[in-house]
Amino acid sequence: MKFKKWATAMLATASVLTLAACGNSKDSGKKSDGDSDKIVTEVKKDTTVTFWHAMNGVQEEALTKIADDFMKENSNIKIELQNQSSYSDLQAKINSTLPSPDDLPTISQAYPGWLYGAAKDNMLVDLTPYMEDETIGWGDQEKIKDSLLAGAEIEGTQYGIPFNKSTEVLVYNKDMFDEYGVEVPTTMEEYKEACKTIWEKSNHTVVGGGFDSLNNYYAIGMENKGVELTKDLKLTDKDSVDLVNYYNEGIKEGYFRIAGSDKYLSGPFANSQVATFIGSMAGEGYVAKDTEGKFEYGVAPRPDKKNIQQGTDVYMFDSATGDEKTAAFLFMKYLATPDVQLYWANQTGYMPILDSVIDSDDYKNSETIKTPAILEDATKDLFAIPVVENADPAYNEIRTIMEKVFSDPSQDVKKVLEDSQAQLDAAWNQ
Distances (CA, A) of 62 to 55, 272, 403: 9, 32, 35
Q: Is the pLDDT of residue 369 over 50?
A: yes
- Mean predicted confidence (pLDDT) in 336-354: 96
- DSSP secondary-structure letter at 143? P
Predicted confidence band at 80 (pLDDT cuts at 50, 70, 90)?
A: very high
CB distance 47 to 327 below 8 Å: yes
- DSSP secondary-structure letter at 69? H
pLDDT at 3: 34
Summarize pLDDT for 152-189 with one digit per residue, the tens: 999 999 999 999 999 999 999 999 999 999 999 999 99
Q: Is the pLDDT of residue 10 over 50?
A: no
Mean pLDDT rounded to a whole number for the chain:
91
Beta strands in 142-206 (DSSP E): 153-154, 157-158, 160-166, 168-173
pLDDT at 390: 87
Summarize pLDDT for 231-259 with one digit per residue, the tens: 999 999 999 999 999 999 999 999 999 99
| Tally of CB atoms within 10 A around 325 | 28
Query: Any bridge partners for residue 80, and if so which?
Result: 50
pLDDT at 20: 36
Q: Is 154 helix (H, G, I), strand (E, B) or coil?
A: strand
- Mean predicted confidence (pLDDT) in 375-380: 95
pLDDT at 7: 35
CA angle 227, 233, 239 (to 5 degrees): 50
Query: Using H for helix, E for strand and C for coil, what is the string for 361-409?
Result: HHHHCCCCCCHHHHHHHHCCCEECCCCCCCHHHHHHHHHHHHHHHHCCC
Summarize pLDDT for 133-147 with one digit per residue, the tens: 999 999 999 999 999
| Tally of CB atoms within 10 A around 341 | 24
Summarize pLDDT for 317-330 with one digit per residue, the tens: 999 999 999 999 99
CA 141/CA 124 separation, integer angstroms: 24
CA 333/CA 233 separation, integer angstroms: 38
Which residues touch 112 (CB under 8 Å, ≥6 apart)? 5, 6, 7, 151, 152, 153, 154, 159, 160, 313, 387
Q: Is the pLDDT of residue 36 over 90?
A: no
pLDDT at 13: 35
pLDDT at 17: 35
